[in-house]
Amino acid sequence: MRDIESRADIEQLIIQFYEKVKQDATIGFIFTDVVQMDWSHHIPVIVDFWETILLDNPVYKKNAMEVHYDLNKKVPLQQQHFSSWLQLFNSTIDELFAGKTATLAKTRAKGIADIMLLKMNKENDKHSVL
């Protein structure tokens, strides 16, 4: 199995990952019912994100946290959401790639999930106190 080496590799990973996400009982509804995702728009943006952090090519220019804060207002994001996301992401990487960059992708994904969960929990706690 080869490593993640190009934008095309990342695009393959992201497309296959989101096919799993759409079917997932824990998070699929967020993308299909709550957000009603425009996949033709979303996929290139997410590929930009991962290309920026995996291939050190700064093509992602958006604020990833802002989108998730907005989503969290609609569906409070919890540990099970991030765990499911991470499991699907890692299993997709393992099906397609192996190597230094594939391992880096899994490490970065875990860090992103942990930070987002922490921030969403703080946001949710703020609103539950009000």
Domain residue ranges in the chain: 7-63+73-129
Q: Quick check: 126 pLDDT over 90?
A: no
CA distance 98 to 40: 27
Q: In the CATH hierarchy, which fold is given to the domain comprising 7-63+73-129?
A: Globin-like (1.10.490)
Instruction: Assess contact for 121 and 109: CB atoms under 8 A.
Output: no
Q: Quick check: 130 pLDDT over 60?
A: no
CA distance 42 to 49: 11
Instruction: Assess contact for 50 and 90: CB atoms under 8 A.
Output: no
pTM for the full predicted model? 0.92
* Average pLDDT estimate for 3-13: 98
Q: How many CA atoms lie within 13 A of 37 on its CB side?
A: 20
* Average pLDDT estimate for 72-87: 95
